[in-house]
């Protein structure tokens, strides 16, 4: 069994309209819990963990907070710190 003593992960950026709560800061094994402000819903994983490779897993997917009831936003992608929004609206 490997133990990653002294391993730390970079602190994550809070999602717009939300926050991250850490169980043990940015130390190995810490859990980052994503929460959104009232009126917003979390898209993506609620939890990420500081892993031995010094990154938050289980994936590189960045959770974000989306406005409740916003039906026009069908597709969102995270690219670095920028959010790309593609709206799928019919033209009249």
- Looking from the CA of 73 toward its CB, the CA atoms found within 13 Å total 13
Q: pLDDT for 33-57, tens place per residue?
A: 999 999 999 999 999 999 988 999 9
> What CATH code is carried by the domain that includes residue 28?
2.10.70.10
CA dihedral 46, 51, 53, 59 (to 10 degrees): -20
**pLDDT in the model for residue 30:** 96
Q: Check pLDDT > 90 for residue 87.
A: no
Per-residue pLDDT at 83 exceeds 90: no
Q: Is 9 a member of any domain?
A: no
Domain count, the chain: 1
Average pLDDT, integer, range 65-79? 60
Angle CA(4)–CA(46)–CA(34) in degrees, nearest 5?
A: 85
Residue 13 confidence (pLDDT): 95
* Structural domain harbouring 70: 18-87
């Amino acid at each position: 069994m490997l133990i990653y003593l002294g391993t730390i992960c970079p602190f994550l950026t809070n999602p717009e309209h939300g926050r991250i709560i850490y169980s043990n800061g940015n130390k190995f094994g810490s859990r980052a819990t994503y929460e959104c402000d009232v009126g917003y819903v979390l898209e993506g994983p609620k939890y990420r963990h500081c892993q031995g490779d010094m990154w938050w897993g289980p994936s590189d997917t960045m959770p974000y907070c989306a406005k409740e009831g916003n039906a026009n936003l069908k597709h969102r992608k995270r690219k670095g710190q920028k959010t790309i929004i593609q709206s799928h609206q019919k033209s009249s």
